[in-house]
A and B are shown apart, each in its own frame.
Chain A
Amino acid sequence: MAIELKVSEVKMGEAYVGKWGMVIDQDMCTGCQACVAACAMENNISFVGETDSGYGRSMHWIRIERFWEGSYPEVKMTPNQPMLCQQCGAATCEPVCPAFATVHSQAEQLNLQVYNRCVGTRYCANNCPYQVRSFNWRDYKRPEPLSNQLNPDVTVRRRGVMEKCTFCIQRIHKAQDKAKSEGREVVDGEFTTACAQACPASAITFGRVDNPDSLVSQLARVHGHGVKHLEELGTLPNVTYFKGG
């Protein structure tokens, strides 16, 4: 007797729909790093400095990855690849934390990092296939006048804890609170993340992926050839990339 397996019983990547998601058009990206700067300002990211950055300790929550093909003199740049936390539906960073410092939010469908619960085993970062988590290797000094512009909505982290992109959860909450006080739902495009806001080429779009009318969903349909990074690992990422369109 053959074993019957219904397709619906198999948890496929396509079947998963997250809540908040992002669409990144790599063809639009100019590699200007405005998103990196905006993210650092919005999220109180430490100023690491040249030496430590050069040793792989930069703490940006979003980075522009540059690749090229071929060897000199026939070198061809491939499209820039902004890389940030993919807010996986089945995140590999979550189960390995011994202290429940990296957890899945039921309400927002995001991966949260609880800074004041983190003990700094760095297992989550090892197990993140996207390598987008950054660790506070030291208490970095903020050079003047950067120390005067900390965002009051975001925790300042100390040495020894892990941190990562939150999809600007403070903005999500602000928008939700505002909408609730006005007795309505959050409108698509009412707010966006710092990186998407700063992008001069509009390469980054943020919104609700579970709403078919939102801009992210429409873009995904229009392009139709979106790629999710390392999809074969089954992490169910919520960021879609377009390239070569």
Chain B
Amino acid sequence: MAGYNKKAETAHVKAEHNQHDEEHFREKHLMLDPLPRGQMNDMVMESMYTTSWKFWVVFAILSVIVAWGLFYSWGRMILEGLGIAGVNRPAYWGIFLVNTVFWIGISHAGTFISAILRVFKAEFRRPFTRAAELMTTFGLVQAGFSIFMHMGRVWVFYWLMPYPNERMLWPNLHSPLTWDLLAITTYLLSSTMYLFLPLIPDLAMARDRSTGWRRIFYKTLALGFRGTEGEWTHLRNAMSIFAFAIIPVMFSVHTIVSWDFAAATRPGWNSSIFGPYFVVGALHSGMGAVIMVLAVVRGTMKNMKYFIRPEHFDAIGKLMLIISMTWAYFFFNDYMVQWYGGDKWTHMLLHFHESGPMGWMWFAMLIFNIAIPWAVLWNQKWRSTPWIVFIVGLLINVGMWFERYIIIPISLSINRMPFTWRLYHPGVEIPLGIGTLAFFILLYMAASRLIPLIPVWEVEEGQMAHELKKFGRETVVTVSELE
């Protein structure tokens, strides 16, 4: 415990005075700073009800961007063909697939934080599991948009689904794209259910504290949850099954996404490390996105400073640092073996990555994904500061987007037929990409005012389990049996 106290002292100036020990534990850790039950519920309800004029201005601007970027541009592309996008021969895949991989990556951290930390009973997860799970669902929606935009004839998208038809035509189960579609659909359904299950008690809480249309909305969604022992037992059973079951689903999704590339015969793609490399890359960008969302939620929503504290940024910051190191390790493995392999086309490709016309992107990727996180996140003070980690998270996301851009259109520019080599210049992909980003933020903003963003019951549960006790002069954090 002595070491623990020491850490608290360095983080807080006040902690220099030993007589204030208890107070500083409280200030620092949400789990040790309990509020009366009713008050915490009211705080969460208040955060949902409070919308300033700024919220509506941003909401309106984003709606316009979605209408222009997503729906108008997509409609135009459906009517005119993919010619208005930048895809060509040989870069048959462009930013659409970059965005698909990017959004699936974003959606990864939600489940990672929520399921893995729940399984390992990491206490710091409690206030922000929902904020992360929402990212999963909304990120997957954008991934779905991006992958459908990519199709030449999107109006026959259902041919990719196994549905009964009189000609006995089925999707080709040899194709990685079919696996992809099945994996993403599975992930979307299971992550939505996993988002919904822990939401039920909070919806019931909101139902009991609201009137009008909101009451009908919450009443419908809460499925008549009253909080009896039987209901809690069932909920807990379902949640523990889902928390364990969704982890392999999460790993499979991004591995299968990587197989879209790794299973192909292209130089630079055909790499057996792509599966874990992509999973780690997804977590890298996803953790960056989680920390950005938390920083924004904490800064803009009412009462959130109580729930989301520097200790949470600190904990996620540590995870980000570890994931950044893991990503660097996989990147080096991939690069090293491909380079050492000595294949002439791969050599040309690697050379093109670093010193081609888009070489700046390759270096920016390494700086944003490795150098900056390593330089900033080792410092506890820096990684506990929301605006600093927001910038780091933003840069990681830009870096990871660059990584996918390098893997897809840039690597496609070079192939075994030098006569066809040509650069890729994005066209209508840009408004469409901005549209998906705006739609993601829009959905998140709407959800933040419609469903309780903080799982109050989980926070309360944690607070009940933790207690500060004095043994002699020393203040000690005691824990009753967890869950």
Contacts and interface: CB of A to CB of B under 8 A. Distances in A.
B417 A96 contact: no
A127 B265 contact: yes
Interface in A38-84: 52, 55-58, 63, 65-67, 81, 83
Interface residues of B, number: 45
B356 interface: no
B177 A127 contact: no
Given A95-B172, A100-B169, A159-B152, A131 B177 contact: no
B153 A96 contact: no
Given A65-B419, A120-B152, A121-B151, A126 B82 contact: no
A95 B175 contact: yes
Contacts of B415: 129, 131
Interface stretch (B57-65, B88-96, B274-282): B88-96
Contacts of B150: 121
Contacts, number: 136
Given A97-B172, A125-B92, A127-B265, A67 B80 contact: no
A117 B265 CA distance: 24
15 contacts: A56-B420, A97-B175, A98-B172, A100-B170, A100-B172, A119-B157, A122-B87, A122-B92, A126-B266, A129-B265, A129-B417, A130-B417, A136-B81, A138-B83, A230-B416
Interface of B: 80-84, 87-93, 150-154, 156-157, 159-160, 169-172, 174-178, 181, 260, 263-266, 412, 415-420, 422, 425
Given A56-B420, A99-B171, 18 more contacts: A56-B422, A57-B88, A65-B417, A95-B175, A96-B263, A97-B172, A98-B175, A100-B172, A119-B160, A121-B151, A123-B176, A125-B89, A131-B416, A131-B417, A135-B82, A138-B80, A159-B83, A230-B416
Most central of B152, B169, B418 by chain A CB within 10 Å: B152
Contact of B152 (A52, A95, A118, A126): A118
B175 A122 contact: no
B266 A120 contact: no
Nearest to A66: B419
A126 B159 CA distance: 20
A31 to B, nearest CB: 13
A55 B87 CA distance: 9
Given A56-B88, A137-B83, A138-B83, A83 B417 contact: yes
Given A126-B93, A137-B82, A160-B81, A96 B264 contact: yes
Given A100-B172, A135-B89, A119 B412 contact: no
A136 B152 contact: yes
A161 B175 contact: no
